[in-house]
Amino acid sequence: MEKAERLFAILDSFRRRRAPVTAETLASEHAVSSRTVYRDIQTLIALGARIEGEAGIGYVLRAGYFMPPLMFSEPELEALVLGSRWVQTLPDTALAESARNALAKIATASGDDLRARIDDAGLWPVNLAGDQPPTPVLGRAREAMRTERAVALAYDDAQGSRTSRIVWPVQIAYFEGKQILVAWCCLRSDFRHFRFDRIAAFDLTTQPYGRSRREMTNTWIDAWNRSRASSDNDA
């Protein structure tokens, strides 16, 4: 691996982590010596990378550093193009437009050869559900999660019965033909899954969540994994 390519790869290793990482761990990942990693870190710092830490304890890349030009491997670029084009098929119009803009920014910040490869990656998502009408509530749900503000929800169940409740949105699952909101339901004091096509009203309040969204996400994932493991054992 050339030095320039290795420097970008080490930056990617930092970006994937929130906690400090040791030079020994980076050396193992990139098949080089720890001494080489120490030299590379000093090179990156000289180029402006906000890397902090010390030998034996670990290093971390502080937020806000960007190093052009962008460099992507062929599989990384294909994943970006395919993911962006899939998002553009969703009824979340704001997210679809953002996906188009993000891909355009990547192309603009890259060389002509990369722009050509983006235009002709040869990968297209197939939306078997067909065109779906825009669902503005998806954008409001994402806003609720970003700001951690409670939502006053009116929801129709499968039998058409409507209930009103306060929920704390945690995750959104984007399926091809429908979207599911994972939220903590204050009415039931438990996690519930809500289909967006059954939501009759979705109003953001000024009330903050009672717990952090990250904490609730971890709790929900643990419960989901336990439920799946129990189902597998029953089978």
The whole-angstrom separation of Cα 65 and Cα 189 is 41
Q: Mind listing the pLDDT tens digit of every residue in the chain (235 residues)? A: 578 788 888 888 888 888 899 999 999 999 999 999 999 999 988 888 889 998 888 999 887 665 555 567 778 888 888 999 999 988 999 999 999 888 887 776 665 566 777 777 788 887 766 677 888 999 999 999 999 999 999 999 999 899 999 999 999 999 877 899 999 999 999 999 999 999 999 999 999 999 999 999 999 999 989 888 877 666 5
- Give the fold, CATH level 3, of 3-61: Arc Repressor Mutant, subunit A (1.10.10)
β-bridge mates for residue 172, sequence order: 181
Q: How many CB atoms lie within 10 A of CB 96?
A: 18
For residue 25, the model assigns a pLDDT of 93
The set of residues, in sequence order, having a beta carbon less than 8 Å from that of 73 and lying 6+ positions away, is none
Residue 87 near residue 99 (C-beta atoms within 8 A): yes
User: C-alpha angle with apex 127: 125 to 129, nearest 5 degrees?
Assistant: 165
Q: Which of 76, 41, 43, 46 is nearest to 61 (CA)?
A: 41
For residue 167, the model assigns a pLDDT of 98
User: 36 is written with which tokens?
Assistant: 């080489």
For residue 195, the model assigns a pLDDT of 95
For residue 57, the model assigns a pLDDT of 87
The set of residues, in sequence order, having a beta carbon less than 8 Å from that of 45 and lying 6+ positions away, is 51
